[in-house]
Structure 1
Amino acid sequence: MRYEEFTIEGRNAVLEAFRSGKTIDKVFLLKGCQDGPVLSIAREARKQDTLVQYVPKERLDQLSSTGKHQGVLAYAAAYEYASVEDMLALAEEKGEPPFLFLLDGIEDPHNLGAIIRTANLAGAHGVIVPKRRAAGLTAVVAKTSAGALNYTPVAKVTNLTAAMEELKAKGMWFVCADMDGTVMYDLDLTGPMGIVIGNEGEGVGRLLKERCDMTASIPMKGDIDSLNASVAAGVLAYEVVRQRLKK
């Protein structure tokens, strides 16, 4: 997938972007290239915990729109990431029990944008995504979120399971959407709640699923076996909203 507006090409441009404090989601470096500027970029990327991929020249040529990548190409985020602490502070400020979305393996930017939009409208305090196997905050995500990205914080964490454990220690409960779970209407989803959504193909990863407090299934009567991830997120989020309103 290419996001022309936020693709930075060339050694100086990428190095400058890092040094100016821009949020870089991912850097592609020419495999086997060991010269000074490229090593400096790899060092900056490590410092900022940015994902680095070493790829052959053909791959860089394919990703490049200018043809002048000099062995270096980066995807910059269109929006700044927030921290999980920011989200908890937002909940506290509003006097509400925290309500968060954890997304496991949502790689389609349209799905991510739609989920951020739903999170905003359902009154969630933030969306947490992992560093790997996840769409970044690109222009496509911003557009699909219909402006919600300006209001709903998104945090990127190295390890979703570790982030969940830290939040559980702070009193949050987690419910994961899965076809084998208890029908969501029969669960108590009030209180400080995180909903965990996986992608349509594989669902929520095993480790993450095992650590959830509850597993919710969405009743389905059709002839196909799963809902789109952003729709599942919306259905489950609004059951949380319904139960909170009722309370």
Structure 2
Amino acid sequence: MAGNSKRRGAIKRTPKGNPTSGSGGRVRRGLEGKGPTPKATDRPGHKSYRTAATEASKASTRPRRTTGAGRDDSEWVAGRNAVVEALRGKVPVQTLYVAEHAERDERLREVFAFAAEHGTGILEVSTSELDRMTAGAVHQGVAARVPAYEYAHPDDLLAAADDAGQPALVVALDGVTDPRNLGAVVRSAAGFGAHGVVVPERRSAGMNAGAWKSSAGAAARLPVARAT
């Protein structure tokens, strides 16, 4: 009989999109409205989450530099005599700058010879550009860019003495505000075998080009630390 689904050979069809077996439909409906699946590193129960948390904890305990990010603490040494003295005093010059058409005297020839021997770069710039870079200093056509000094940590000085199997000998300064005096102390401390010099972070001279020159090269061997 037409329309009789119970007759032999009849096929019962189920509505599409509504499965009667399996979990696909139920799971899909259960996830509706819950948003995208979180990343593995955002799920507390996942291994990736625990790994990321461990790395973040390690990063938070690492020491940080006291200088600001992107900060340029380098300075300029300007003038022929000053630059020659800095080179003789083993100040770590980054780049030498010479003005166009600058008179080639004995001091300038010494600068060129030093650059050739040590592989230091020399840039030729206009006089007006050198005026601008050195903030109007009397440069006599020659200037040198000196990098910021990288201070050690006081603990590093003690660790160096311990590694050498020696009793620590550290010179601690307070109230020394003249960089030349600081350099002289560094020179003397290196002479009698000290493991380093400690200066306050504030209200104290720093290891600038003047201190480097008066240390007579000792600043290249003896570490200077800052303490708060």
TM-score, normalising length: structure 2: 0.38
- Greater share of strand residues, 1 or 2? 1
The TM-score, its normalising length taken from structure 1, stands at 0.35
Larger Rg: 2
